[in-house]
Amino acid sequence: MSRLVVQHPQLTDAAVNAFDDAVGRAPDHRNGALAAWNDVQIAAGQVSRLAERCAVDAEIVPMGARLSDYRLIGFDMDSTLITVECVDEIADYVGRKAEVAAITEAAMRGEIADYDESLRRRVTLLAGLPVTVLQQVYDERVRLSPGAQRLADACRRAGLKLLVVSGGFTFFTDRLRARLGLDFSQASSLEVANGRLTGRLVGEIVNADVKQRTVEQVCAEVGCAPAQAIVVGDGANDLKMMSIAGVSVAYRAKPIVRSETTHAINHCGLDAILGYFGAG
């Protein structure tokens, strides 16, 4: 049997009542942000239509699923673990944010076949910036996505290891790893010479294939199969690593990602993931 979980930061009675009507009874659990019905039989299409109509997040999940059933949770960084795209914010310091953001958006939607080239194009526009700009971006613009800290803490308590894997830059993943107590990180590296960005990358670009490989390698290190991993992302570059995970979550994601993942969060924070496992 399945469990229906409906969530919104300010979940209204009207939204809950709409699902009551569909299920045929009141929820088994209700708080300010979540309502859940146990042992339901309801079509996924009906749930999706109601969720869209009521502007809530609604998912059908297995009864009895627990966070402790999993061993790893992996996050994309930009627009997933944090609220911004770091490369776009860096580009703002040379007046090229709109140009870079347009490339970023196209890449996330899956409209650019060569991710590596799209990243190189964006990084080229950063040439000459003092490396101190990176710290400014981190201090002034990088913010954790809502619910990120709560989710990370809950996953750690449940025994999961935590990974951030990003096509973005090690400068930021290193700091997030320390800030959130993450166990693993993998990201692309900006080249610096004489205290300035050169407009080039150093080493391997963390594209979709590398993201998938990283999840596989970390799972092996942790001692679990990818089926015991939860992976969270928002762009086309995340799809390959999400495809091998036991649970994949599209977080405020592009349509191409929402259509190919286990669950989608469009209204809530990252900690809505806890609601899928009876911990909302």
* Catalytic residue IDs: 76, 78
Q: Which of 160, 183, 185 is nearest to 172 (CA)?
A: 185
- Beta strand extents in the chain (DSSP E only): 2-7, 29-30, 34-40, 57-62, 72-75, 161-169, 184-193, 196-202, 229-233, 247-251, 263-265
Structure tokens at 105: 């958006």
Measured CA angle at 133 (ends 128, 136), to 5 deg: 170
- Spatial separation of the C-alpha atoms in residues 16 and 30, rounded to whole Å: 9
In total, the chain counts a number of residues equal to 280
Which ranges constitute the DSSP H helices of 75-207? 86-91, 97-108, 115-124, 132-140, 148-157, 170-180
